[in-house]
Amino acid sequence: MNLYTPAGGLGNTHVTWEDIEEDLQRELDTVATFGPNKTAKTIGDGRGFMSRVVLIDADWQHKDKKLPEKFIVKVSIQGFID
């Protein structure tokens, strides 16, 4: 893996849907999973120098509590990514 190379994760980073889902399940103490209609949209493109900001709509499935419908993920990057 080369962090200077665009990847197939969120916002062309190396962070995957699975990474975000696992972190949120742990931090929000839930068993809910992301649904098939989940979306990720890069916002503020060109404004960050060492990060990518992504708006997530998780399309939660199997909700066991009140969860955020949308949230922001800030991903550190190594340099510019096209």
| pLDDT confidence of residue 75 | 84
pTM over 0.85: no
pLDDT, one tens digit per residue, over 13-40 is 788 999 999 999 999 999 999 999 999 9
Which residues does residue 74 pair with via DSSP β-bridges, in sequence order? 53
| pLDDT confidence of residue 50 | 78
